Homo-oligomer: A and B are copies of this chain.
């Protein structure tokens, strides 16, 4: 049994483990898991995986998966003949959507969108907006702002007269804050569910 890519198989087992526990085990346990009797073999393997970009060391010297670690989850459409499911039928739930969308959990909140004022930006009534709490935003960001004690989701823009909140729906007109404009947070993601 030649083994050009035994590492791939090892990686797979690590991915499975991570899928189960959302954490990577110690070298000793990895060795046990992969059928290796010595930790030095694991150490070498880990170095290879780091080189290949599948895992990395945190600043605290802990082993952690990188983005590439989860790569197989996403199927791309325009692979002409290749089935999207080909590689990843055993799609264990390694890359969770939460991890994908939410970078700063403690300051992130989900808000259900009401109204159709952002329809032309592909944001519909009933969608869930992932909002990162933050008192400032950039022009062009879609923000949750507090205007007249009410929350609104709009695009932040600026013209000669100052800041404006732009709806994305021809039937609505821009909101020009009269007194003050408070940014509640910035929209960093969108989730929609079909029934």
- Chain A interfacial positions (CB closer than 8 Å to B): 11-13, 15-16, 18-26, 29, 58, 60, 62-65, 70, 72-81, 84-85, 88, 91, 93, 96-114, 119, 122-124, 127-128, 133, 141-142, 149-151, 153, 184, 187-194
Contacts and interface: CB of A to CB of B under 8 A. Distances in A.
A84 to B, nearest CB: 6
B91 A106 contact: yes
A9 to B, nearest CB: 8
Nearest 7 interchain pairs by C-beta: A12-B106, A15-B105, A23-B64, A97-B97, A122-B122, A190-B192, A70-B98
B188 A190 contact: no
A193 B93 contact: no
7 contacts: A21-B62, A25-B60, A70-B96, A91-B105, A93-B102, A97-B102, A190-B190
Contact of A110 (B74, B150, B153, B187): B74
Given A26-B60, A79-B151, A101-B191, 8 more contacts: A15-B106, A21-B62, A73-B109, A85-B109, A88-B109, A122-B122, A189-B193, A190-B190
Contacts of A105: 12, 15-16, 18-19, 70, 72, 91, 93
Given A60-B26, A75-B110, A142-B194, A98 B101 contact: no
